[in-house]
Amino acid sequence: MTGKQKNFLFDLLNASSPSGYETEACKVFREELITNDVKNEFIDNIGNCAFSVGNDNGIPFMISGHIDEIALQVQYIDDKGFIRFIKDGGVDPKTVIGRKVVIHTAKNGDYVGVIGKAPIHIEFHTKEKDKVTEIKDLKIDVGADCLEDVLSMGINVGDSITFLNLVHFLGMNRVACGSIDDKVGVYITAEVLKRLQADEKDNHPLKMLKVYGVACTQEEIGGHGATLAAKRINPRYSIDYDVTFATDDGCVKKEEWGDIKLGKGGCIAFGPDKNSSMIDLMRNVCTNAGIPYQTFAVGAGMTNTLKIKLAADNCETMLLSIPERNMHTQVEVCDLRDLDSMVDMTYEFIKTLDNKLYNDSLY
């Protein structure tokens, strides 16, 4: 991964994108592709951003990642100026206490707040010592003395709240932050489109395929973005990117989720909503090109893959997953080498399929 690619990835990870409020991160995605002369296809009313490369009259092929992240939303402001909130996506209450958050207002910018708790000294001899506090019982302190103080800051019911997101390198190849799921999938989508676009400039265009790359919104609350994008594009083929559980840290059992390691390549998923012929071709592509990959089995409907399959008329689908530790926490960890392998395997797959379809058309 080059320095420019890392900067793009970090810009994506740092941009706020709660489900339903993905505008800031989508702007990063759009600007990167526009700068690299990739064709802008559409932004729809749910916020999906789509670009394309290839034969405009070709067979539609959709690659996608979801750009939304788990977050919170202002629900109530009490007379003392404390803010109560609800979940926006699958937030684990065990990971929330003691966190810094950012409240995004419509007119006055962003405000940092903290989610506090009673000191351990107070709770140590009580029944509360080992209890997980429910979201409804937590509150955010923004430094206000009363309700009027909060309102004067421009904070209102409905404002989105993200966790203060600091991206850090861990060692040479790994990064940690709270929005890896699934902005890394959006990063891969953009990098594949950029590589295909570079081929176009070098007079090696796709002959049979039109590849759409989509940053899908609202996956964390039901896959709404992918559903609408697939209805509009109606792809014949689809590769969706998401994250999966790394099992090399002992927190997730290999016996249940497979032997998945950071840094050993992107993961090809097997399951009822994943097309076996696409999987076979992808494994052959990786083997022939020397691209590292891993495999695992997962049920249907756990990602956007099934949403795309059902929304399109007749689509062969595949799920590629990035190994990740600590999913749905503020310290998610992934390995940059796995992202590189996912870009490589997707690019080689698309070029291989395009050539196969072209050769088949000659007979």
Segment 278-293 shows an average pLDDT of 98
Distance, CA of 280 to CA of 288 (rounded, Å) = 12
pTM across the whole model: 0.96
Which among 361, 363, 353, 359 has a CA at the least distance from the CA of 60?
Answer: 353
By percentage, how much of the chain surpasses pLDDT 90?
A: 92
3-class state of residue 198 by DSSP:
helix
Q: Are residues 152 and 26 in the same domain?
A: no
Q: Are residues 148 and 263 in the same domain?
A: no
Predicted confidence (pLDDT) per residue in 43-71, tens digit:
999 999 999 999 999 999 999 999 999 99
Q: Are residues 139 and 195 in the same domain?
A: no
Indicate the number of domains in the chain: 2
What per-residue confidence (pLDDT) applies to 301?
A: 87
Q: Are residues 346 and 256 in the same domain?
A: yes
Which among 102, 95, 97 has a CA at the least distance from the CA of 18?
Answer: 102
Q: Are residues 47 and 185 in the same domain?
A: yes
Q: Are residues 217 and 149 in the same domain?
A: no
Q: Is residue 99 pLDDT above 80, yes or no?
A: yes
Residue 338's domain spans which residues? 3-69+178-361
- Which sign, positive or negative, has the C-alpha torsion 95, 138, 117, 103? positive
Say if CB 180 and CB 335 are below 8 A apart. no
Distance, CA of 156 to CA of 76 (rounded, Å) = 8
For the record, the structure tokens of 214 come out as 């989509």
Distance, CA of 13 to CA of 8 (rounded, Å) = 9
Q: Is residue 129 pLDDT above 80, yes or no?
A: no
Q: Is residue 363 pLDDT above 80, yes or no?
A: no
Say if CB 71 and CB 161 are below 8 A apart. yes
φ/ψ of 129, rounded to 5, equals -55, -45
pLDDT band at 25 (very low <50, low <70, confident <90, very high): very high
Q: Which of 22, 41, 219, 220 is catalytic?
A: 219
- The answer to whether 219 is a known catalytic residue is yes
Q: Are residues 232 and 343 in the same domain?
A: yes
Predicted confidence (pLDDT) per residue in 298-327, tens digit:
988 889 999 999 999 999 999 999 999 999
Q: Is residue 264 part of a domain?
A: yes
| CATH code of 142's domain | 2.40.30.40
